[in-house]
Amino acid sequence: MHATSTAAPRHVLSRTTILIAAVAVAVCGLLGACGSGSGSPSESTGPSALSLPSDFPRSDVPVLDGPLLSTGGTADEGWNLTVQGPANATTALDDAVADLTKAGYAVQQRTTDGGNKVVVLTATKSGTRYTVEVGAVAGAAGGGNSVFYQVTRG
């Protein structure tokens, strides 16, 4: 049994490290996309036009208020989001974690690596078990205000 309990944190840490890297690449891509072009205002296909995936569990997984910078995934794969927190917020990641804990999620793990931070939380909502990895990447477009979510069920 002991081997099973030690394997789970390694799996989460491994996924967390991959998630940090993927989000860093995505945010850098967003920076490149936003910085290119003729300087004309964003069209309706820009980040402000994004919405949560249609099957995202809105009532079970609270998400920080703010414009969505990226969204993706499905119930079968898991969902991923990047949210720009309020301009006056200095602790958007802490605010996102607080929203989740107020909704009944329990912190399972906290990881910090080179200024990148990830918090893993779990809860059972509406009969479904959710794992939410929420984090912030140092040097992201929104600085400490850009928060990413990786949400899986099961």
Residue with structure tokens 């989001």? 81
pLDDT for position 48? 54
Task: With CA atoms as reference, report the closest residue to 23 among 145, 146, 105.
Answer: 146
CA distances to 9, 17, 138 from 60, in Å: 24, 25, 28
Domain that holds residue 133: 2-37+46-153
pLDDT, one tens digit per residue, over 56-84 is 999 999 999 888 999 999 999 999 999 98
Q: Is there a contact between 80 and 148 (Cβ–Cβ < 8 Å)? A: yes
Sign of the dihedral through C-alpha 74, 146, 97, 58: negative
pLDDT for position 132? 98
67 against 7, higher pLDDT: 67
Residue 50 DSSP one-character state: -
CA distances to 1, 17, 71, 87, 88 from 23, in Å: 34, 10, 11, 20, 23
How big is the chain, counted in residues? 154
Neighbouring-strand partners of residue 130: 123, 153
pLDDT, one tens digit per residue, over 85-122 is 877 767 889 999 999 999 999 999 999 998 889 999 99
Whole-number average pLDDT of the chain: 75
Structural domain count of the chain:
1
Tokens at residue 130, please? Answer: 């959710």
| 115 vs 127: CA distance, rounded Å | 35
Q: Is there a contact between 119 and 131 (Cβ–Cβ < 8 Å)? A: no
